[in-house]
Amino acid sequence: MCATFFAKIEVSITTNNAKVEKMEKEHDNFTANFVNPAKEVDAKIFAMTQNIQSSERMREAQFALVKDTI
């Protein structure tokens, strides 16, 4: 009687372990594909700084052209 009880418990533990491992894998896959807001904000900040630097270089080039013209 005790042996069958412990056998049932062991079977349920192994099935639960398998379910937990499957859920962990699914969670890892989800987090790998999920858009991370912090990374998205960093990307937006990088793009904005690049645009600002580009416009500053353009303005400096225009200023140099006007300076050379005068």
Q: Where are the domains of the chain?
A: 1-34, 36-70
pLDDT in tens, 22-48: 999 999 888 777 766 677 788 889 999
How far is residue 6's CA from residue 8's CA, in Å, rounded to a whole number? Answer: 5
Instruction: Tell me the Cα Rg of the chain.
Output: 30
Whole-structure pTM value: 0.47
23 three-class SS? helix
The answer, yes or no, to whether residue 6 has pLDDT greater than 90, is no
- C-alpha of 65 from chain center: 44
